[in-house]
RNA sequence: GCGGGAGUGGCGGAAUGGUAGACGCUCCGGACUUAGGAUCCGGUGGGGAUUUCCCCGUGAGGGUUCAAGUCCCUCCUCCCGCACCA
């Protein structure tokens, strides 16, 4: 019997498949397509188990669909721009491009070793001009349509490094690189007007219902954050102008006892100027900026600065004080709010602190609220009081009526607001796609001409110790001529946020044309992506940006669909248990003795076994895919990963678990190998599989039941763990059956045909998960062609039906016995039989039968 | 605080309202062996009776039902996301 030599088998078939180009896909209008896409990786150096899981899940889906007759597009590429390349350059003195491309080469080899069914001809590397030139084109077209614009905003700024920091580069209010306290700074930058699509992005989430995880849909809804309210004008006599506030509770207008502005609000500045509070306000702004983080986390106390003037409530005509307050956000609504302490907790706290009046205008049905007795704001709906002609109305109706009244008086209007902000795409980074804009001394902002694209990112640069982008200092790059007037001009030196590249790569995969971003007919054939797979961490940003780009490209006339990803699967993390020594902190499993002591430096302290956590170097719980492939082979790694948990749950890596998967494949290999010679020439004529002996019929039935189960689990439920369990169960049953049969039984021709069917179909079922071993055994068994090109087995429905079943006999809902009975047994017969069973008699005797429930094919329940 | 998800053996996890614990791991026993961390066979939720029997058991409590892990109500715990968004 031959050994399962996985490394030889895997190498052999990977070469064959590559040579034969079995995974290539080209548009073919005669065949149905299926586009399977996994989120492409950032080329950080090596792939990790999270990637292995993501790509294994995608590969299984792609292979199942191929076997079901679809023309499957399954591509892979590299999200190759990004900050880590610059950090590597800083640390190791290697150029970001060299670092990136060598990482890509290494990781590509790793993916190939895992046997993924990618059409590598379609590989994309986003840091090449071939790719990003089209991104620049889209940007210019967006600019021309007013969808890209330049504005000043507040950014995180590290005063030491003199650089802008992304939110995720700020750790506890400090710069991640140098630890300096981060401040905010106003800076100019480019923005994409995603807010113009807020309503459509929200509405179209309904189309994804049932196809995307509910969680992701909810997260996006919250992120877009639609709220319906009103803008209301409060006249400010001191300035003789209106202050416009935004509120979702116009019904509480009569309870407004003050108004609050964001400290950065224009009117706050004007009023401060007028009242001689300029210094105080600036001090306040500075303080609020510093506390920004604490404020965002809700840790800072509410604080305000009275601007020594008043605003007029448009309906009551009351004069109420104006404050600048730290809890009012400039970026949301109008940056100004009316404050109703009785019905808003934040206003309540502020009012208590500054001794401002609290007036109840909404009251629940059953009791009367008194302002002086309130311990917190009453925020629920209720009935209006103290509100003139609106008193007595239910708050929901009052909202409409008060808005109507304000509109009639031109003092306010209904207003929809979104939490979603425009997408800031400027990065003061080197390793990114250049923003194709020129600043002309005469013409101002001018987009580069389309025919001059790409604006190539210069590679002849030195990354210096400050980590600052070298682009602004590259005279050759910066100095240019104006595309419009030909005069002197300077290039934009910011680059795009890397989320821009990943917002359209799925389109490029379908049509890698050298001259066009993509050909329309290719897009029409392959898109949208049928199944997208990736981590939940991209639930909001990437997926929202990609949805936005899809809609923009649609409106620019490139494509004709609304949503890029038909179905979405978000896989869980790969986690592993951790070990912690009281002296050494996190330690590797190898550093723990068999009796749980720390072996590091002869330490000997008792090691704490921590709960499983996401794999990370710092926690010493990383498992290297290369090592696993070397030890067990790609098929075993894939099998374990698909088997250990359903895709959406976290997967706990287990060294014992992978041994189990390895054992299963060894068992499969030796079993089929031992019959291979005998069965190779046997022709699989299913029509001869009639009048089988009981045991063989049972085996065949079990096979077809397994095919059905695997079909459902692999193609519909995407629960590969239970599908694989069914295959394992079948193999167990097969081995039991083989043990029971005599050598003579197996010499029978029919038995041989059946065995051939059983083996061939088992291999077909397992091949999406473990393609190499299945291809090898397929060849040994004399299978036709390549298993990777074979059809998924179908089941014979007539075979599924059992002639008998095990009837569960219950008395008062408790199982008392079970007995094998004909499948078509009647209720009467079943009852008669049940009552004759001694174990049942025991519980029924001497009692009267009140009811009998009979479930065909299942059970009988006798109620006494 | 708001939103989402989950609580099932020693562990990962199975169960269209119909035998709870499939499949795998671990552990225990046995076989083969110079050896076993290879392989094969058997057992493995808890408690009691000890051969084939009974009771208990899906986070807690209640309800609907002939029948509940599954449906309904109340509560507890954990995880994730968002969070002064007016």
User: Protein A769 CA to nucleic acid B11 C1', in Å?
Assistant: 24
Of A93, A90, A80, A97, nearest in space to A44 by CA: A80
- Measured CA to CA, the distance from residue A792 to residue A785 in angstroms comes to 14
Place of tokens 């491009």: A97
| Bridge pairing between strands A33-38 and A71-73 | parallel
Q: Exposed, middle or buried: residue A574 (CB in 10 Å: 0-12, 13-18, 19+)?
A: buried
Nucleotide nearest A808, from its CA to each C1': B19
Helix count (H) and strand count (E) of chain A? Answer: 28, 35
Q: Is A804 within 7 A of strand B by CB distance?
A: no
Q: Is A851 within 7 A of strand B by CB distance?
A: yes
Q: Omega before A29 cis (within 30°)? A: no
| DSSP codes joined into one string, A274-342 | HHT-HHHHHHHHHHHHHTHHHHHTT-SPP-EEEEEEEEE-TTT--EEEEEEETT--TTSTTSEEEE-GG
pLDDT for A170 equals: 63
User: Protein A261 CA to nucleic acid B14 C1', in Å?
Assistant: 58
Spatial contact of A793 and A707, defined as CB atoms under 8 Å apart: yes
Q: Is A611 within 7 A of strand B by CB distance?
A: no
Structure tokens at A501: 């590249």
Of A227, A251, A254, A253, nearest in space to A382 by CA: A251
User: Protein A298 CA to nucleic acid B83 C1', in Å?
Assistant: 8
Q: Is A729 within 7 A of strand B by CB distance?
A: yes
Helix, coil or strand: residue A501: helix
- Measured CA to CA, the distance from residue A781 to residue A773 in angstroms comes to 12
- Measured CA to CA, the distance from residue A49 to residue A572 in angstroms comes to 11
Structure tokens at A241: 């102008």
Quickly count: other Cβ atoms within 10 Å of residue A462's Cβ. 9
| ipTM at complex level | 0.94
Spatial contact of A147 and A192, defined as CB atoms under 8 Å apart: yes
Of A521, A535, A529, A533, nearest in space to A504 by CA: A529
| Bridge pairing between strands A319-325 and A258-261 | parallel
Quickly count: other Cβ atoms within 10 Å of residue A752's Cβ. 18
Torsion over CA of A22, A25, A26 and A27, rounded to 10 degrees? Answer: 130
- Report which of residues 265-304 in chain A place their beta carbon less than 7 angstroms from any atom of strand B: 295-298, 300-302
Spatial contact of A321 and A356, defined as CB atoms under 8 Å apart: yes
Spatial contact of A665 and A675, defined as CB atoms under 8 Å apart: no
Chain B bases near protein Cβ (<7 Å): 3-5, 11-16, 18-20, 22-26, 38-41, 53-55, 66-68, 80-86
Spatial contact of A452 and A217, defined as CB atoms under 8 Å apart: no
Structure tokens at A671: 């079993």
Spatial contact of A508 and A564, defined as CB atoms under 8 Å apart: no
Cα separations (Å) of A736 from A301, A323, A699, A739, A740? 71, 82, 10, 5, 6
User: Protein A709 CA to nucleic acid B2 C1', in Å?
Assistant: 41
- Residue A823's φ and ψ, nearest 5 degrees, are -60, -30
- Measured CA to CA, the distance from residue A518 to residue A504 in angstroms comes to 11
Q: Omega before A181 cis (within 30°)? A: no
Cα separations (Å) of A732 from A475, A671, A723, A724? 72, 11, 14, 12
Structure tokens at A688: 């001869």
Spatial contact of A437 and A471, defined as CB atoms under 8 Å apart: no
Nucleotide nearest A325, from its CA to each C1': B84
Nucleotide nearest A843, from its CA to each C1': B54
Max CA pair span of chain A: 109
Spatial contact of A136 and A434, defined as CB atoms under 8 Å apart: yes
User: Protein A722 CA to nucleic acid B33 C1', in Å?
Assistant: 37
| DSSP codes joined into one string, A161-211 | TTEEE-GGGEETTEETTT-PBPEEEEEEEEEE-GGGGHHHHHHTHHHHBTT
Residues A130, A133, A135, A141, CA torsion sign: negative
- Report which of residues 442-501 in chain A place their beta carbon less than 7 angstroms from any atom of strand B: none
Nucleotide nearest A724, from its CA to each C1': B23
Q: Is A333 within 7 A of strand B by CB distance?
A: yes
User: Protein A373 CA to nucleic acid B2 C1', in Å?
Assistant: 26
Spatial contact of A859 and A808, defined as CB atoms under 8 Å apart: yes
| DSSP codes joined into one string, A720-780 | HHHHHHHHHHHHHHHHHHHHHS-HHHHHSHHHHHHHHHHHHHHHHHHTTTSHHHHHHHHHH
pLDDT for A822 equals: 85
Residues A302, A307, A313, A319, CA torsion sign: positive
Name the residue closest to B68, CA to C1'.
A813
pLDDT for A1 equals: 47
Element (H, E) at A820: strand A814-822
User: Protein A597 CA to nucleic acid B85 C1', in Å?
Assistant: 51
Nucleotide nearest A349, from its CA to each C1': B84
pLDDT for A177 equals: 63
Q: Is A392 within 7 A of strand B by CB distance?
A: no
CA angle A18, A19, A25 (to 5 degrees): 60
User: Protein A642 CA to nucleic acid B25 C1', in Å?
Assistant: 15
Q: Is A810 within 7 A of strand B by CB distance?
A: yes
Q: Is A671 within 7 A of strand B by CB distance?
A: no
In 3-state terms, chain A is what percent helix, strand and coil (to 5)?
45, 20, 35
Name the residue closest to B5, CA to C1'.
A215
pLDDT for A77 equals: 97
pLDDT for A832 equals: 87
pLDDT for A805 equals: 83
- Report which of residues 80-119 in chain A place their beta carbon less than 7 angstroms from any atom of strand B: none
- Report which of residues 3-42 in chain A place their beta carbon less than 7 angstroms from any atom of strand B: none
Nucleotide nearest A858, from its CA to each C1': B18
Cα separations (Å) of A567 from A544, A553, A563, A643, A719? 14, 20, 10, 22, 15
Q: How many CA atoms lie within 13 A of A735 on its CB side?
A: 13
pLDDT for A526 equals: 97
Q: Is A719 within 7 A of strand B by CB distance?
A: yes
pLDDT for A173 equals: 63
User: Protein A656 CA to nucleic acid B27 C1', in Å?
Assistant: 13
Structure tokens at A337: 């709010």
Question: Which residues in chain A land under pLDDT 50?
Answer: 1
Beta-strand ranges (E) seen in A442-528 are 444-447, 479-481, 488-491, 495-496
Query: pTM to 2 decimals?
Result: 0.93
- Measured CA to CA, the distance from residue A249 to residue A333 in angstroms comes to 13
pLDDT for A710 equals: 96
User: Protein A817 CA to nucleic acid B65 C1', in Å?
Assistant: 22
Backbone torsion region of residue A51, taken as left when φ is above 0, otherwise alpha when ψ lies between -120 and 50, otherwise beta: alpha
User: Protein A816 CA to nucleic acid B46 C1', in Å?
Assistant: 20
Structure tokens at A502: 């990943």
| DSSP codes joined into one string, A229-260 | EEEEEEEETTTTEEEEEEES-GGGGGG--EEE
pLDDT for A83 equals: 87
- Measured CA to CA, the distance from residue A680 to residue A781 in angstroms comes to 5
| Bridge pairing between strands A529-535 and A163-165 | unpaired
- Report which of residues 677-696 in chain A place their beta carbon less than 7 angstroms from any atom of strand B: none
């Amino acid at each position: 019997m031959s050994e399962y030599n996985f490394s030889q088998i895997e190498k052999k078939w990977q070469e064959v498949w590559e040579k034969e180009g079995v995974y290539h896909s080209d548009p073919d209008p005669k065949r149905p397509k299926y586009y399977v896409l996994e989120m492409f990786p950032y080329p950080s150096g090596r792939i990790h188990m999270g990637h292995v899981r993501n790509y294994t899940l995608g590969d299984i889906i792609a292979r199942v669909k191929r076997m079901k007759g679809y023309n499957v597009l399954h591509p892979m590429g590299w999200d190759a721009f990004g900050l880590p390349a610059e950090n590597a350059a800083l640390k190791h003195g290697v150029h970001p491009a060299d670092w990136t491309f060598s990482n890509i080469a290494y990781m590509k080899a790793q993916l190939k070793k895992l046997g993924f069914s990618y059409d590598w001809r379609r590989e994309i590397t986003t840091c090449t001009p071939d790719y990003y030139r089209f991104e620049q084109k889209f940007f210019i077209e967006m600019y021309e349509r007013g969808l890209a614009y330049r504005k000043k905003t507040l950014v995180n700024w590290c005063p030491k490094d003199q650089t802008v920091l992304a939110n995720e580069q700020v750790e506890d209010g400090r710069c991640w690189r140098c630890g300096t306290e981060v401040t905010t700074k106003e800076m100019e930058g480019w923005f994409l007007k995603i807010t113009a699509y807020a309503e459509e992005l929200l509405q179209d989430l309904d189309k994804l219902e049932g196809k995307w995880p509910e969680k992701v849909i909810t997260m996006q809804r919250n992120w877009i954050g639609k709220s319906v309210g009103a803008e209301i004008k409060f006249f400010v006599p001191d300035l003789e102008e209106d202050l416009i506030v935004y509120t979702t509770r116009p019904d509480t207008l009569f309870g407004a006892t003050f108004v609050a502005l964001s400290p950065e609000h224009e009117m706050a500045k004007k009023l401060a100027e007028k009242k001689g509070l300029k210094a105080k306000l600036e001090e306040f702004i500075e303080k609020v900026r510093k506390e920004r983080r604490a404020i965002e986390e809700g840790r800072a106390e509410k604080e305000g600065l009275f601007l020594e003037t008043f605003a007029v409530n448009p309906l009551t005509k009351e004069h109420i004080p104006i404050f600048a307050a730290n809890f009012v956000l400039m970026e949301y609504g109008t940056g100004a709010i009316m404050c109703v302490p009785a019905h808003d907790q934040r206003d309540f706290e502020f009012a208590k602190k500054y001794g401002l009046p609290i007036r109840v205008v909404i009251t629940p049905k059953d009791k009367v609220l008194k302002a002086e007795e309130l311990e917190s704001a009453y925020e629920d709906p209720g009935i209006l009081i103290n509100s003139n002609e609106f008193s007595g109305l239910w708050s929901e109706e009052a909202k409409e009526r008060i808005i109507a009244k304000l509109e009639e008086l031109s003092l306010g209007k209904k207003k929809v607001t979104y939490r979603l902000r425009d997408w800031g795409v400027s990065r003061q980074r080197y390793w990114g796609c250049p923003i194709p804009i020129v600043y002309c001394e005469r013409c101002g902002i001018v987009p580069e001409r389309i025919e001059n694209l790409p604006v190539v990112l210069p590679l002849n640069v030195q990354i210096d110790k400050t980590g600052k982008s070298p682009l602004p200092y590259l005279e050759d790059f910066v100095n240019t001529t104006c595309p419009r007037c030909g005069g002197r001009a300077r290039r934009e030196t910011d680059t795009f946020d890397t989320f821009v590249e990943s917002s359209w790569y799925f389109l490029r995969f379908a049509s890698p044309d050298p001259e066009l971003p993509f050909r329309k007919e290719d897009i029409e054939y392959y898109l949208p992506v049928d199944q997208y797979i990736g981590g939940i961490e991209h639930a909001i940003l990437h997926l929202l940006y990609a949805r936005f780009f899809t809609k923009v490209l649609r409106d620019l006339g490139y494509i004709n669909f609304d949503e890029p990803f038909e179905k979405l699967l978000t896989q869980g993390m790969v986690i592993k248990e951790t070990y912690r020594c009281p002296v050494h902190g996190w330690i590797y499993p190898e550093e723990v003795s068999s009796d749980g002591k720390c072996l590091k430096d002869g330490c000997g302290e008792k090691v704490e076994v921590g709960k499983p956590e996401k794999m990370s170097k710092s926690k010493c719980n990383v498992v290297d895919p290369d090592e696993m492939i070397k030890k067990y082979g790609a098929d075993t790694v894939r099998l374990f990963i698909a088997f250990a948990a359903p895709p959406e749950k976290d997967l706990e890596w287990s060294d014992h678990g992978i041994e189990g998967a390895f054992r299963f494949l060894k068992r499969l290999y030796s079993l089929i190998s031992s019959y291979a010679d005998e069965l190779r020439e046997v022709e699989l004529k299913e029509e001869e599989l009639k009048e089988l002996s009981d045991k063989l019929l049972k085996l065949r039935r079990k096979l077809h039941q397994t095919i059905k189960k695997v079909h459902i689990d692999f193609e519909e439920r995407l629960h590969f763990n239970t599908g694989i369990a069914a295959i394992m169960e079948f193999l167990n049953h097969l081995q039991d059956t083989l043990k029971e049969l005599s050598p003579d039984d197996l010499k029978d021709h029919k038995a041989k045909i059946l065995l051939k069917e059983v083996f061939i179909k088992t291999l077909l079922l397992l091949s999406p998960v473990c393609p190499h071993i299945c291809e090898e055994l397929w060849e040994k068994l004399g299978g036709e062609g390549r298993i990777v090109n074979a059809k998924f087995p179908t089941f014979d429905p007539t075979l599924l039906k059992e002639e008998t079943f095990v009837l569960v006999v219950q008395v008062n809902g408790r199982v008392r016995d079970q007995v094998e009975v004909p499948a078509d047994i009647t209720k009467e017969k079943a009852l008669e039989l049940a009552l004759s069973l001694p174990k049942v008699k025991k519980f029924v005797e001497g009692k009267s039968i009140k009811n009998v429930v009979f479930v065909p094919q299942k059970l009988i329940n006798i109620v006494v």
